[in-house]
Amino acid sequence: MLLNCDLGEGLDDVDERVMPFIDMANIACGGHAGDEASMRRCVLLACKHGTRIGAHPSYPDKAQFGRQRPKHLNLDDLTDNLQTQLMSLRAICHAAQADIHYVKPHGALYHDVATDPELLHALFRAISIACPGVPVMLQARPRGHKPPAWADFVMHFSAAKAPPPLWTEAFADRTYTETGELVSREHKGAVLETAEAIVKQAYQLITDNSVITTAGSTLMIQADSVCVHGDTPTAYTALKDIDAQRLTWCSRK
């Protein structure tokens, strides 16, 4: 099970400390956070540690950290903005003789493209220009629950115009509702605060492909990767512990 982390969001110390323990770095591209200097620093850190580089674009919303959709942003403008974010990171990667391996949208955009095919198409268009063919990483859906907009949207693609591949992730540091949604950050308990709680949830995701909801039920979730957010206060300790134990955990599956 691969570990990924959102980085380049203004926590320079966290970026440097967690990079040795993750497989995939989701690097902010200037939409919700980040600039040329932070992107370059994260790319060089990723190259140093052999970490896959992911683009982490968002709505252009630094004031709200990408957690709200700008009211007057139309789809064409969004496509252009996402393309600019992706190409900025791509240029820095090329200068470091590296590549963008995948795209993971951030914040409100991440959740919105899972339910709105038009927004998903805008993301696809930006990717097709800036970094064609790279996978998109979105939230894994629990078994038996309605699939995201991706499933409906992909059905309308012809073989000659296929969408990018889909990778899925689950969250070790966020709590889940009964329907498999993440508990809103506006509510208390949305983020697991202790490293012990994060490691425990990561263990269950990795060994059992499941998570316990806030109501106490078990949801089965099959994911390609597990995420711990870089701005979670205990991210470093949790990621270090998960990385030290995950090979042992996988042997128990």
3-state secondary structure of 103: strand
Per-residue pLDDT reduced to its tens digit, 212-243 = 999 999 999 999 999 999 999 999 999 999 99
Architecture of the domain whose range is 2-171+224-229: Alpha-Beta Barrel (3.20)
Can you tell me the mean pLDDT for 13-30? 97
User: What pLDDT does residue 20 have?
Assistant: 97
What is the per-residue pLDDT across 101-124, written as a single tens digit (0 to 9) for each?
999 999 999 999 988 888 988 999
**pLDDT > 50? residue 17:** yes
Q: Can you give the residue ranges of every domain in the chain?
A: 2-171+224-229
Contacts of 49 (CB under 8 A, 6+ apart): 19, 20
Predicted local distance difference test score (pLDDT) of residue 211 = 96
Of residues 23, 24, 31, the one with CA closest to residue 89: 31
pLDDT score at 154: 63
Say what the pLDDT of residue 153 is: 61
User: Within a 10 A sphere around the Cβ of 112, how many other Cβ atoms?
Assistant: 17
Q: What is the pLDDT of residue 160?
A: 47
Which residues pair with residue 70 across a beta bridge? none
pLDDT value at 3 more than 90: yes
For 38-68, write each residue's pLDDT tens digit: 999 999 999 999 999 999 999 999 999 999 8
Contacts of 83 (CB under 8 A, 6+ apart): 125, 126, 129, 130
Distance (Å, rounded) from C-alpha 244 to C-alpha 221? 23
| Model pLDDT for residues 156-197, shown as the tens digit of each residue | 554 446 678 889 999 999 999 998 999 999 899 999 999 999
Which pLDDT score, from 0 to 100, does residue 13 have? 92
